[in-house]
Amino acid sequence: MERSEPRYRRVLLKISGELLGGSGGEALSEGNLKFIIDEISEVVELLGLKVGLVVGAGNIVRGGSLHGKLGIDRPTADYMGMIGTIINSLALQSAFEKRGLKATVMSPLEIRGVVEAYTIRGALDRLSKGEIVIFAGGTGSPYFTTDTAAALRAVETGCDVLLKGTKVDGVFDRDPEVYPDAQKIDKISFDDVIRRELRVMDITAFTLCRENSLPIIVFNLTERGNLKKAVLGEKVGTFVWSKKEA
């Protein structure tokens, strides 16, 4: 029998900006945006989940590339990337509102009249009211990735799990694009991730989750229904756990 009660009640979903982009190189794809909105809306409307969302900006600009290829100083490049996440977040907010769901964009980078200033209390209040909170602008400081921003916001707002939506089915024992015989890992502890030197998230984000016993699920968000399966506790992607979840 299909499980109808969610395993997690409050989640932080991290998605890459590339998932919003189109195959033709456009920054925002109507079809991809609608697909993601449909997937998130389903778990909000049917399961009553409290959802926080962090989106990257790879479809618009990558701070690391600006720094490495163009020689733009690292802080400036990172701020450009943070502004890109605000652009994506506003697109998501508009799409949610068209769907009839209340969504708020909060950012440590203040743009008056456009986004709300991020505070923990403000985010918790919005989540408690059932609003989708989109955390934009990264951490507000350079040198930190959106993975780290996602882990930080998940811990600050008391989320039950950090969901990392990607284009792949989970974490593999080695790069599946290089090694066709790479094996997907269904479940692994934080300690084993470190021991085996697997790349789940950047080290700062991973350490935040590990130290706060916040489980991570890495899964393929582009496959319809996978987000719902993840929050219901069904087998999907790779589950990274601490001893408290053993």
Choose between 106 and 24: higher pLDDT: 106
Q: Is the pLDDT of residue 164 over 80?
A: yes
Which phi-psi region, left, alpha or beta, contains residue 190 (left: φ > 0; alpha: ψ -120 to 50)? alpha
Q: How confident is the model at residue 243 (pLDDT cuts 50, 70, 90)?
A: low
Here the tokens at position 184 are 């997907």
Domain ranges (residues) in the chain: 10-245
Q: How many helices (H) and strands (E) does the chain have?
A: 8, 11
pLDDT in tens, 28-71: 999 999 999 999 999 999 999 999 999 999 999 877 778 777 88
Strand 238-241 and strand 216-220: the pairing is: antiparallel
- As a whole number of angstroms, the distance between CA 15 and CA 220 comes to 10
pLDDT at position 1:
36
Q: Quick one: which H or E segment has residue 184?
A: strand 184-185
Per CATH, domain 10-245 is 3.40.1160.10: yes
Q: Quick check: 10 pLDDT over 90? A: yes
- The token duo for 56 is 């990257």
What local confidence, expressed as pLDDT, does residue 244 receive? 54
Measured CA to CA, the distance from residue 218 to residue 208 in angstroms comes to 16
pTM given for the model: 0.94
Q: Report the run of H or E that residue 171 belongs to, with start and end.
A: strand 171-172
Which among 166, 143, 176, 145 is positioned nearest to 216, based on CA atoms? Answer: 166
The mean pLDDT value of the chain amounts to 93
**Is the C-alpha dihedral spanning 158, 95, 19, 114 positive or negative?**
negative
Name the β-bridge partners of 117: 107
